Structure 1
């Protein structure tokens, strides 16, 4: 068993048994990793109201950010937050593997909104995530935006917070991914949305794209039992 296979086996064992002794609660400082990898552009996919990008700014990252958020109410707040930052752009669009319009389900807590139906396990773990409405949105592919999005020789950090829609975003980014040096995405340990891939399949898919797992952090846990349902995975290009 080579080192990559050993790591994948260790990750799966830890996640399956909920043994998080070696999985830290929070990645210490993404801006340090960004500086180490000489990242010039962060693609903040599923930005909600700008929480992720704001944290990067607080940690010291001063490079370009492009945030993507399809929901109209959340996008207005995002755009307002970014309005005083000349290196932070916002696009009101969802990303996937298709072009056109789509219906997104709006969660009560906003950030759990998804293009996919939510399963009962998610609602049990976070009752405030229950869907409360729907909205028609625009959806496009990262590859469609590529010519106007990434400057020549820019190294990219791609962050996906898309509630079970990770595979579709990656499918629509095949020409964009060669520019990506760091990939961050949610990995679900149990089914939370219909049709989503769980962590073993997602880790394998990202591995085939040429990325190695660097770090895991605790993300979504059942508010009553503490059971970890979802983690964030940070991957780097090998």
Structure 2
């Protein structure tokens, strides 16, 4: 047994593990997928504090990022994160099927599980810190209403949704998406977690049937550690054709 294997086994006895980096990171693979799709603009809907955008930058994505985050606390952190990046724009509102004010349920895990929809007991029991701890009224727009502000007709737009069960409402306000996106990433629940949220089969049918996208990656997500059952995953879809080459340089590993 090599020294590396002995060290890894010792760490595993402590509940830790070591994997090859950056290939094990989904941020790295996401940047590769965007490069393959030739994406010019990423719309990051439900950006929280900018974790997704930071991951893309770390692994070489150099195109524009447009982030939407309606909650005031996470938005301030997002604004600071994007302030030094001239190609990163942020907006302090939600996206949905119509222009109106909506009430967000604020989750206790830093806002990560916040949603317009009521949370079901199965979600809260699997992750008690995600329980709702407050409410905040926010402005909601349709993605179609803001599309021209954030993208040009010739842009290749990749849309990433992290809206905790509200995906169908966002997509109902985004008819332009079908004609102008080169890819889509969204969460899909394997079991009901939010009241009225679509489940995985419906999400698959929507992306493939309505938008003509092909499944490119499945990313394991929220898991009930009491049982080991995965409750939610991310699905990444791309247009099923070869993108224009040379739009961006290859993503690079961190120094």
Query: So what's the TM-score if we normalise by structure 2?
Result: 0.82
Matched residues in 2 for 1:160 and 1:144: separation? 17
Matched residues in 1 for 2:128 and 2:175: separation? 36
What are the ranges of 5 or more consecutive residues in structure 1 without an aligned counterpart? 1-23
Larger Rg: 2
Cα RMSD over matched residues?
1.4
Q: Is the 8 A contact 1:101 1:138 kept in 2?
A: yes
Show the counterpart of 1:217.
Answer: 219
- The answer to whether residue 90 in structure 2 is matched with residue 117 in structure 1 is no
Show the counterpart of 1:56.
Answer: 56
- The answer to whether residue 71 in structure 2 is matched with residue 71 in structure 1 is yes
Q: Is the 8 A contact 1:98 1:141 kept in 2?
A: yes
Query: So what's the TM-score if we normalise by structure 1?
Result: 0.87
Matched residues in 1 for 2:59 and 2:131: separation? 32
Q: Deviations over 1:154-208 (max 9, x none)?
A: 0011000000001111111111331111100001000000001101111111111
Show the counterpart of 1:162.
Answer: 163
Show the counterpart of 1:202.
Answer: 203
What are the ranges of 5 or more consecutive residues in structure 2 without an aligned counterpart? 1-22, 241-255
Show the counterpart of 1:231.
Answer: 233
Q: Is the 8 A contact 2:37 2:238 kept in 1?
A: no
- The alignment covers a number of residue pairs equal to 215
- The answer to whether residue 152 in structure 2 is matched with residue 151 in structure 1 is yes
Matches within 5 A, 1:6-155: 27=26, 28-109=28-109, 110-155=111-156
Structure 2 SS opposite 1:33: helix
Matched residues in 1 for 2:85 and 2:226: separation? 39
Show the counterpart of 1:17.
Answer: none
Q: Deviations over 1:38-77 (max 9, x none)?
A: 1100000000000000000011111100000000111011
**CA offset at residue 26 of structure 1?**
5.6
Q: Which runs of 4+ in 1 moved over 6 A?
A: none
